[in-house]
């Protein structure tokens, strides 16, 4: 019977591991796209076959601009000979990252996250047919070698797109009115290897997974110091030390107990990822439904921590699991671990739930790895104290301080809740939670929390007439200081350290001095009044447009280049760039005097009329301004990360070597602008 139970436990644990492992292998480490740039128009044209690699986080792709004799396999392309084209040059790596590798004892070249290769060819016939094989190697903790078959045909007679395929009124969002999308004047897809180009950083969407795992680990440690969990540590350790007199056996069972906790939380994260899928990021980023749902969830979590009610699992489930834990052996130990996960849910649920909400961003592994880190932090104390029971004497005694921690977390949950509401409010122009209202709520929360920490306010589960300890006093001072820091924001102070998390200044009704720092300005625009200017706004009070073709027409009339700001209402990094870089007087002056500025909101939910809607590059109908802009950015500039900054001329030709993303280096951004201005003047 014992052997049967051990076998069942082993099979269950193996299944958990296999689900996570197989799940991690759903995607190949590298996804490829390829196209001709520019699209050939006639026999004799010289064009580039552009191969773009999207690389899974944690992996790197070897380029081909280093010594192939070092050891790693360089990327190679072999095109099958065909009379319709001629190969003119070798395959080139675009902006690869060079570094010294101690394993190979030499300089290698790699790509992370994004990579690009170009093969120049000459068109010899009107019916172009490219076929070949791309061989590459990608490595992480292990390496994979892959082959990609290239197959591309192009009939030069049909190369030029019919203008009637473009939307009648939305041409102004997409392209110059007289320039078909496939002609040479079309802006080519730019290189977006953001972490290999000097002066650029990884876009917001590519946040390092280790950073999220660290946050999850710290969240697990935080969950330990809640009233539902902390008192159970000595009780659980005492069970192992007294039930198993043999120290080796006690250590074995304690280890299984800790591993079981980690497996259970990892399984929860994996299940969450399977349910939400890889497309969650596009929906969660700005759609009203998930953001209002998360607002409600965080609000409920906060009220639960404040003591209004408890979020608990059904008693029948907890009792059933507890009965299984009493059967003894390793089988019973596993269900003991499951019992503590379920029993402590009223305290750990809001913390783990908040973590899973943050993980629901499209990366399928993120929830699983986050819950693994959370479970690891949660399990370590139980296991270590079982190994070394004498350490229990160093633990502080349980007391009212545990409830203080829980209440503190409740206020934090309430503050976080309004961020989700704010995202939907901006994207749909509800104008409910403007910047001053948002700040007023945050200030009220911090002040009430400070009064609680100073002992001037008591809640249901607090002890009467309890003295305030020194640590609690210092935390209260920090919270009060933060609240005081927020107060000037009610009168228009930029609060740059929080610029990415607050609604933009143009939503504020009252600004000291009587003007809004970021209100839209249309009276000084050099050309006609901007489309959508009644509800869209340029950052930092810059005179600008919200329609690409309108901006290009103005650029042609005034003889200036166009600065494109791909932005979003719910984009944290966009707000940081605006208040820390765009607000610089030198940069703002260049925007006003030397560019036609256009802000393109890729998450705006304003519905387009039927005649303005069009089918995007993915075959789906684009029904909102945001959907259309997002498709435009992906098609023309090979990116869906915001912010992205592009400088073009009136015909749509790009004026810089690469585009730019989020980077708070003002000097580097100024050089980017000067490069665009210089190339525009010298073209």
Residue 16 has pLDDT above 50, yes or no: no
Q: Distance of CA 265 to CAs 203, 220, 268, 361, 428, Å? A: 29, 11, 5, 19, 36
pLDDT digits (tens, 9 = 90+) for 145-188: 677 888 888 777 444 333 333 333 333 434 333 333 332 333 33
C-alpha–C-alpha distance, residues 563 and 558, integer Å: 14
**Residue bearing the bigger pLDDT, 279 or 321:** 321
Structural domain boundaries in the chain: 30-157, 205-401, 539-682
Q: What is the pLDDT of residue 158?
A: 43
- Lowest model confidence (mean pLDDT) among 217-226, 240-249, 405-414: 240-249
All residues at 6 or more sequence positions from 169 whose CB lies less than 8 Å from its CB, including other chains: 609, 611, 612
| Residue labelled with tokens 């300890």 | 469
Counting residues of the chain whose pLDDT is more than 70, the rounded percentage is 69
**Residue bearing the bigger pLDDT, 290 or 522:** 290
Answer whether 84's CB lies under 8 Å from 128's CB: yes
pLDDT digits (tens, 9 = 90+) for 123-143: 988 888 888 888 888 887 556
pLDDT digits (tens, 9 = 90+) for 356-401: 666 555 455 777 788 888 888 888 877 777 777 666 666 666 566 6
Q: What is the pLDDT of residue 178?
A: 33
Q: What is the pLDDT of residue 256?
A: 83
Q: What is the pLDDT of residue 237?
A: 64
- pTM score of the predicted model: 0.46
Q: Averaging pLDDT over each range in 118-122, 138-142, 147-151, 211-215, which range is the top one?
A: 118-122
**What number is the average pLDDT over the span 493-507?**
73
C-alpha–C-alpha distance, residues 158 and 205, integer Å: 37
Q: What is the pLDDT of residue 198?
A: 32
pLDDT digits (tens, 9 = 90+) for 252-265: 877 888 888 888 88
**What number is the average pLDDT over the span 94-118?**
84
All residues at 6 or more sequence positions from 650 whose CB lies less than 8 Å from its CB, including other chains: 176, 552, 553, 555, 556, 562
- Lowest model confidence (mean pLDDT) among 320-324, 469-473, 485-489, 640-644: 320-324
Q: What is the pLDDT of residue 565?
A: 94
Q: Averaging pLDDT over each range in 172-181, 237-246, 529-538, 595-604, which range is the top one?
A: 595-604
C-alpha–C-alpha distance, residues 583 and 542, integer Å: 9
Helix (H) or strand (E) holding 175: none
Answer whether 403's CB lies under 8 Å from 462's CB: yes
Confidence band of 515 (pLDDT split at 50, 70, 90)? very low
Confidence band of 449 (pLDDT split at 50, 70, 90)? very high
Q: Averaging pLDDT over each range in 52-61, 228-237, 423-432, 582-591, which range is the top one?
A: 582-591
**Residue bearing the bigger pLDDT, 327 or 455:** 455
User: In 3-state terms, what secondary structure has residue 134?
Assistant: strand
Answer whether 83's CB lies under 8 Å from 124's CB: yes
Q: Averaging pLDDT over each range in 62-76, 228-242, 531-545, 555-569, which range is the top one?
A: 555-569
SS (H, E, C) 517-540: CCCCCCCCCCCCCCCCCCCCCCHH
C-alpha–C-alpha distance, residues 629 and 602, integer Å: 5
| Residue labelled with tokens 């026999």 | 43
**What number is the average pLDDT over the span 505-510?**
72
The fold of 30-157 is Immunoglobulin-like (2.60.40)
CA-based nearest residue to 503, from 517, 521, 523: 517
> Hey, do 30-157 and 539-682 end up sharing a CATH topology, with the first three levels equal?
no
Mean pLDDT for all residues in the chain? 75
Q: Distance of CA 607 to CAs 180, 429, 547, Å? A: 25, 12, 15
539-682 in CATH: which number? 3.40.30.10
Answer whether 648's CB lies under 8 Å from 598's CB: no
- Lowest model confidence (mean pLDDT) among 29-38, 103-112, 193-202, 515-524: 193-202
Q: What is the pLDDT of residue 349?
A: 64
CA-based nearest residue to 602, from 574, 563, 560, 621: 574
| Residue labelled with tokens 């009587």 | 514
CA-based nearest residue to 193, from 302, 336, 96, 323: 96
CA-based nearest residue to 620, from 611, 605, 630, 609: 630
**What number is the average pLDDT over the span 184-206?**
34
pLDDT digits (tens, 9 = 90+) for 309-336: 776 656 665 566 556 555 556 666 777 7
**What number is the average pLDDT over the span 522-546?**
81
């Amino acid at each position: 019977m014992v052997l049967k139970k051990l076998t069942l436990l082993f099979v269950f644990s193996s299944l958990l591991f296999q689900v996570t492992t197989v799940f991690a292998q759903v995607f190949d480490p590298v996804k490829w796209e390829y196209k001709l740039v520019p699209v050939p128009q006639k026999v004799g044209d010289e064009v580039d076959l552009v191969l773009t690699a999207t690389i899974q986080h944690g992996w790197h792709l070897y380029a081909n601009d280093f010594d192939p004799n070092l050891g790693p396999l360089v990327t190679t392309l072999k095109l099958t000979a065909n009379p319709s084209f001629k190969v003119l040059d070798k395959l080139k790596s675009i902006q690869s990252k060079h570094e010294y590798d101690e394993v190979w004892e030499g300089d290698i070249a790699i790509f992370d996250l994004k990579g690009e290769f170009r093969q120049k060819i000459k068109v010899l016939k009107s019916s172009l047919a490219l076929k070949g094989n791309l061989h590459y190697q990608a490595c992480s903790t292990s390496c994979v070698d892959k082959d990609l078959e290239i197959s591309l045909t192009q009939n030069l007679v049909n190369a030029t797109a019919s203008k009637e395929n473009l939307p009648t009124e939305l041409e102004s969002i997409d392209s110059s009115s007289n320039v078909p999308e496939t002609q040479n004047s079309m802006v080519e897809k730019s290189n977006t290897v953001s972490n290999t180009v000097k002066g650029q950083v990884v876009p917001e969407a590519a946040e390092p997974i280790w950073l999220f795992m660290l946050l999850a680990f710290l969240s697990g440690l935080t969950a330990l110091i809640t009233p539902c969990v902390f008192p159970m540590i000595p009780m659980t350790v005492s069970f192992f030390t007294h039930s198993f007199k043999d120290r080796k056996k006690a250590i074995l069972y304690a280890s299984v107990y800790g591993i079981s906790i980690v497996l259970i939380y990892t399984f929860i994260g994996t299940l969450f990822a399977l349910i939400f899928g890889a497309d969650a990021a596009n929906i969660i980023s700005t759609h009203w439904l998930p953001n209002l749902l998360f607002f409600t969830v965080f609000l409920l979590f906060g009220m639960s921590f404040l003591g209004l009610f408890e979020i608990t699992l059904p008693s029948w489930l907890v009792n059933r699991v507890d009965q299984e834990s009493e059967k003894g052996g390793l089988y019973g130990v596993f269900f003991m671990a499951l019992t503590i996960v379920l029993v402590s849910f009223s305290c750990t649920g809001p913390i783990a739930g908040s973590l899973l909400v943050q993980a629901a961003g499209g990366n399928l592994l993120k929830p699983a790895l986050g819950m693994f880190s959370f479970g690891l932090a949660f399990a370590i104390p139980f296991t270590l104290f079982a190994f070394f029971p004498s350490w229990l004497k160093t633990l502080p005694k349980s007391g009212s301080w545990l409830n203080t921690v829980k209440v503190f977390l409740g206020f934090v949950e309430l503050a976080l809740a309004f961020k989700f509401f704010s995202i939907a409010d901006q994207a749909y122009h509800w104008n409910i939670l403007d910047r001053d209202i948002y700040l007023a709520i945050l200030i009220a929360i911090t002040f009430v929390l400070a009064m609680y920490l100073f002992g001037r306010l008591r809640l249901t589960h607090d002890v009467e007439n309890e003295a305030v300890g020194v640590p609690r006093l210092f935390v209260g001072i920090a919270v009060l200081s933060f609240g005081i820091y927020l107060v000037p924001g009610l009168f228009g102070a930029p609060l740059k350290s929080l610029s990415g998390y607050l609604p933009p200044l143009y939503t504020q009704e009252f600004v000291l001095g009587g003007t809004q720092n970021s209100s839209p300005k249309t009276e000084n625009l050099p050309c006609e009044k901007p489309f959508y200017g009644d509800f869209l706004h340029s950052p930092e009070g810059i005179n600008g447009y919200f329609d690409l073709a309108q901006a290009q027409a103005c650029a042609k009339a005034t003889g200036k280049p166009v600065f494109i700001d791909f932005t979003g209402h719910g984009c944290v990094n966009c707000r940081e760039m605006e208040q820390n870089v765009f607000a610089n007087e030198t940069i703002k002056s260049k925007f006003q005097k030397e560019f036609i500025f256009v802000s393109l909101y890729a998450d705006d939910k304003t519905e387009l009329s039927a005649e303005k809607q069009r089918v995007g590059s993915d075959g789906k109908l684009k029904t909102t301004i945001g959907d259309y802009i997002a498709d435009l950015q992906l098609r023309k500039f090979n990116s869906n990360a915001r912010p992205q900054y592009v400088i073009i001329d009136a015909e749509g030709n790009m004026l810089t070597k690469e585009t730019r993303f989020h980077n708070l280096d003002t000097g580097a951004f100024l050089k980017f602008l000067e490069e665009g201005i210089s190339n525009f003047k010298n073209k």
